[in-house]
Structure 1
Amino acid sequence: MDRRKLVYSILKELQEGNEPKQTDYEITYEQWGEIAELIRDEGYAKGVSILYADDSVYFVSLSSAKITMKGIEYLEANSAMARMYKGLKEAREWIKL
C-alpha cells in the first residue's frame, strides 16, 4: 500500500464531496484508522471522527470531513498523482502501484 497515494485519493474524494470508506481501498480497518488519524493530525481535513477501544481503532467516519487549505496544498504539491488518479472506482489498483 502506498500511503501517499492513499492520502491523495482520500483528500481528492473529500474535495469532490464524496465520502471515501475503508472498503473502497481493500485495507484493514486498523490501516484505515491510521490513515484517517494521519489526515486529521496533519491538518489535511477537519471533521474526521476516530474512536478507539483498548488501544485499537473501533470506529472511523469521514461523513463530516471537509478538506482544509493544507489538504488542498497537499493535492497541489502532488500534482503528478493527479494525472494518474482515475477516481475511487480504480483507487484499489492505483494505490498498489
Structure 2
Amino acid sequence: MANFKLIYRILSLLDKYLDYEDPDWSRLSADHFLVTEKRFISIMLMLYQAGYIDGIEPIHLGGNRFDLKYINPTITLKGLEYLEDNDLMHKAYRLLKGVKDITPGV
C-alpha cells in the first residue's frame, strides 16, 4: 500500500509542476518523499516503463542497480488518467466508509 501512496504522490507532484516554468526538482527525490534511494529509483523506473512519466533516463550501473538522469521529467496522459482514477476510488471509498459508519449492522 505504501508503494501506491508513493506513486500517487510522485505523479501528483509532476502534475502540479505542469504549471511551473522552473520547478523545484529537488523535491523529486527519495529524501523529499522520506523513502530509501533504492525504493525511490525502483518506483520511478516502474512509472517510466509503464508510461506514466517521461523525461528521465535510466542509467544502468551494473547488476540490478540503476540511477536516474532527469532530462525534463513530466507526467504523461496515462499518468494523469491514473491520478483521476485513483482520486475517484478514494472518494468512493470515503463515501462507502461514511455510510458504513452511520448504518448499524453493515
The normalised TM-score by structure 1 is 0.72
- Note if 1:54 corresponds to 2:70: no
- The aligned counterpart of 1:13 is 13
- The aligned counterpart of 1:4 is 4
For 2:29 and 2:69, the matched residues in 1 are separated by 8
Deviation by residue 1:46-91 (Cα, 9 ceiling, x = unmatched): 112221212212x22446111111000000011028xxxxxxxxxx
Q: What is the CA RMSD across the aligned residues, in angstroms?
A: 1.9
Larger RCO (alpha carbons 8 Å, 6+ apart):
1
Q: 3-state DSSP class of the match of 2:72?
A: coil
Which one-letter code corresponds to 2:14 in the other structure?
A: L
Q: 1:26 aligns with which of 34, 45, 50?
A: 34
Q: 3-state DSSP class of the match of 1:78?
A: helix
The normalised TM-score by structure 2 is 0.66
Percent of matched pairs sharing the same residue: 26
Pick the structure with more strand per residue: 2
For 2:35 and 2:69, the matched residues in 1 are separated by 15
| Unaligned residue ranges in structure 1 (runs of 5+) | 82-97
| Unaligned residue ranges in structure 2 (runs of 5+) | 18-22, 92-106
1:5–1:36 CA distance, 2 compared to 1 (3 A): same
